[in-house]
Amino acid sequence: MPEKIIIDTDPGIDDMQAIFLALLSTEVDVLGITTVFGNSGLDNSVANALRLVETAGRPDVPVVRGASRPILLPPRPGAPSIHGADGLGNAADRLPKPKGKAIGQNAANFIVETVLAHPGEVTLVPIGPITNIALAARLEPAIISKVKRVVLMGGSAFVGGNASAAGEANLYNDPHAAKIVFEAGWPIVMAGLDVTYRYLLGEDYLDLVSSLGNPVSDFMKEVFVFVRQRMIEWNSREAVPDLHAVAYLIAPELYTTRRLPCYIETEGRTAGMTVVDPRPPARRNEVIPEIDVILDVHAEKLRGLFLQRIGAFGK
């Protein structure tokens, strides 16, 4: 049976690829897409999510409007240098306009109602700031024991941050929400920067995706115009951080994980830092929750999986 999931997202160029993979894979059943501030603001997150489900031929998947700002902190700026002002590489004007609308419910309520309707079956897959997940847990703590697991893109066990020296962007954007989620008590799998830097793609990958010749690949081809320019300007290859949270659910055998005690810093220069404490439990003066941290991936097999799923669309 496919694993029931809710994707919580701020689409996002890497979110785009993760969501398309989920929508085109039979291993997962996407019950809904909840949206959050992050890469380019909540309005863009909603519009982009609608574009993605419609382009993938899945307008039946509900898109839900979520949090527009962190729980405690002032609103965070987006990431136009990475995702463009619109979240999709400044390609929104060249992409199909969304026909549908977000459903008339907020994300936290949607998460609570969906989890309670399928106790023990729903995996939450946050690939943006995890504010909606924290709000849902605070709204109805009973869901904590009824969520199957949380598989998130965020954090960094051993390689430092990207939004700051210590903080990975998704957790840095709302560290207080991250603290709530990491301390809640549900099973967590963290696909953070450790595995992100193990899967870097060049222009040959962009060429292959762009040449697949279907509505999904054509959509990505437009977005990749911005990616190509950025790769040249930065002299870098393309990371696809959010892809790993979804790909792990579809093909866990491609990944290497390690169980580690981890907690979240919320203040100062280290806000959003995922602190791994490898000391023996007897040497700690507190109980630190343990999570499964993804550390590596079989990059070539993942690349092949993604190309196969996108290429099969419409056939």
Which token pair is 82? 């990475």
Sign of CA dihedral 32, 37, 43, 48: negative
Residue carrying the six token digits 């405690």? 72
Show the DSSP H helices in 32-141 as ranges.
Answer: 42-55, 80-83, 107-117, 131-139
H/E element holding 308?
Answer: helix 299-311
Q: Please spell the DSSP secondary structure of 6-42, one letter per residue.
A: EEEE---HHHHHHHHHHHT-TTEEEEEEEE-SSSS-H
Say whether 185 sits in a helix, a strand or coil.
Answer: coil
CA-to-CA separations, 232 to 84, 88, 228, 236, in angstroms, rounded: 15, 18, 6, 7
Residues 253, 25 contacting (CB under 8 angstroms): no
Q: In 116-151, which positions are buried (b, 16+ CB within 10 angstroms) versus exposed (e)?
A: eeeeebbbbbbbbbbbbbbbbbeebeebeebbbbbb
Catalytic residue positions? 10, 244
The CA distance from 219 to 161, in Å, is: 30
CA-to-CA separations, 106 to 110, 117, 275, in angstroms, rounded: 6, 17, 31
